[in-house]
Amino acid sequence: MPECLKPELLKPERLKVVAAVIYNPGGEILIAQRPEKVHQGGLWEFPGGKLEAGEDYAVALKRELIEELGITIRTYEPWMKVSHDYSDKKVLLDVWKVTGFRGIASGREGQQIRWCALGALKDYAFPAANEAIIKRLWRDNLSQIS
């Protein structure tokens, strides 16, 4: 077998995911609990999901938030990217800041959701890839953490 085709040398493709840090008018942030049956199940996350083939990040963000939460985003901007390697999966999170939306967020796929004050995020268990998001939130908003 040629060296370049050996299974141990084939690099798994990085899974592309959009995630949203969604703020309500009171400054709270929306988090959602991952279903038990999926990777990192039971942990809390910033809502979003996988990109479909050929899909743009902004289009994926809008689609995912309508599907998962029933909200239509109005004011949003790219915020950060996080690359993380789990033992079984490699992910690239394209994280967006959402400050305006229409609708009332609900767990449309049966997931629990919570609006949290920034300081309360420490009370929830998140996947390791989300740690960089939380650290930046704390760094950017030090004066607001209670």
pLDDT tens digits, 77-131: 999 999 999 998 999 999 999 999 999 999 999 999 999 999 999 999 999 999 9
Does pLDDT of 146 surpass 90?
A: no
Residues in the chain: 146
pTM (whole model) above 0.95: no
Residues in CB range of 61: below 8 A, 6 or more apart: 18, 20, 48, 73, 76, 96
Res 7: pLDDT: 54
Res 94: pLDDT: 98
H/E stretch holding 130: none
- The pLDDT tens digits for 47-66 are 999 999 999 999 999 999 99
Does pLDDT of 143 surpass 90?
A: no
Res 125: pLDDT: 97
50-to-18, 40, 56, 64, 107 alpha-carbon distances in Å: 6, 14, 11, 8, 17
Does pLDDT of 4 surpass 90?
A: no
Res 5: pLDDT: 52
Exposed / middle / buried, residue 135 (Cβ in 10 Å: 0-12, 13-18, 19+): exposed
C-alpha closest to that of 16 among 48, 51, 45: 51
Hey, is 57 helix, strand or coil? Answer: helix
Does pLDDT of 40 surpass 80?
A: yes
What is the C-alpha separation between 122 and 23, in angstroms, rounded? Answer: 17
CA 13 to chain centre: 19
Fold of the CATH domain 14-144: Nucleoside Triphosphate Pyrophosphohydrolase (3.90.79)
- The pLDDT tens digits for 11-35 are 668 999 999 999 999 999 999 999 8
pLDDT band for 145, please (50, 70, 90 cuts): low
Q: Beta strand 72-85 with 90-102: parallel, antiparallel or unpaired? A: antiparallel
